[in-house]
Homo-oligomer: A and B are copies of this chain.
């Protein structure tokens, strides 16, 4: 008989929470009781799981002793406020908000560094990295046997859904206002996002690096176990509803064998390779999929050790929910 586990999803009503539910169902995750949790107004609403309507409970009054495995998918501040109680109750934790330092909750990408899971000790606590990190790490893990990457220069063009449902609503609202030639007062974003690109997605530090840009660099080094890897990261908000588009330029130690690289990408089960007569996009390709789409694979114009790629990846599903559920499966397999 299959063992089942009581699972809690914190932030169940958000877009990532919704994708988590969908994936727990699709992948037949061994759920005994599912606790859907949210704070504030969202508690008390209902969501569907396995064909049944389930009430969303109030996070504030939840007793974590009723759960064996907890996904934290609300805001980072919500994780900070409640992760202690979850760990004290002996729950295994999968944090999608990077609220805990690596020492307490290592960054894990199931399709890149699953072996790192073996270093965990109880209470089991892991972090599912940011969406662009998951996409890039998944691709680089496939290429690892063929190239030694010394530097990764990344421009991540991020969908408005990286700001949750509010981002989606705001892009739609702004676009409608502009097409109807009405005056625009931006909300949520600090200026017009419709038909515009915003050069930063959060608040930069004194050196000018944004929070996500620093996460991207740190997470890639950790997940790829490559502390010496150099990472230049630029995160941009683009007028796209779902799906991150990532321009990735790699400098390798040696000349890149493009045929081997393409063959490796073509046969990898963890991504979808798009041949050179086509190219991947978020709309139509990556959105709704559990793997990143990779294309525009080309060497350098003047450097044999350069490799350029374009990645399109569903930021909500692949970048967040799918990796988190895979990590849940691994935790169960190894520890629970």
- Interface residues in chain A, defined as those with a beta carbon under 8 Å from any beta carbon in chain B: 151, 153, 155, 157, 171-172, 175-176, 179, 191-192, 195-200, 204, 207-209, 213-214, 217, 230-234, 236, 238-241, 245, 247, 249, 276, 279-284, 295-303, 306, 308, 310, 312
Contacts and interface: CB of A to CB of B under 8 A. Distances in A.
Contacts of A232: 153, 249, 300-301, 303, 306, 308
Contacts of A249: 153, 232, 234
A299 B205 CA distance: 12
Nearest to A307: B232
Main secondary structure of the interface of A (DSSP, over half): mixed
Copies in the complex: 2
Which of A176, A208, A238, A301 is packed against the most chain B CB atoms within 10 Å?
Answer: A301
Contacts of A296: 199-200, 204, 208, 234
B230 A199 contact: no
Contacts of A284: 191-192, 196
Contacts of A204: 276, 296, 298
A239 B238 CA distance: 8
Nearest to A227: B302
> What are the 6 A-B residue pairs with the smallest beta carbon separation, nearest first?
A208-B298, A196-B283, A155-B247, A155-B155, A199-B279, A199-B310
B199 A280 contact: yes
Nearest to A217: B301
B303 A230 contact: yes
Contacts of A247: 155, 234, 236, 247
9 contacts: A195-B240, A196-B282, A199-B281, A200-B279, A204-B296, A208-B276, A231-B302, A232-B308, A233-B301
Contacts of A231: 301-302
A232 B302 CA distance: 8
Contacts of A245: 197, 199, 236
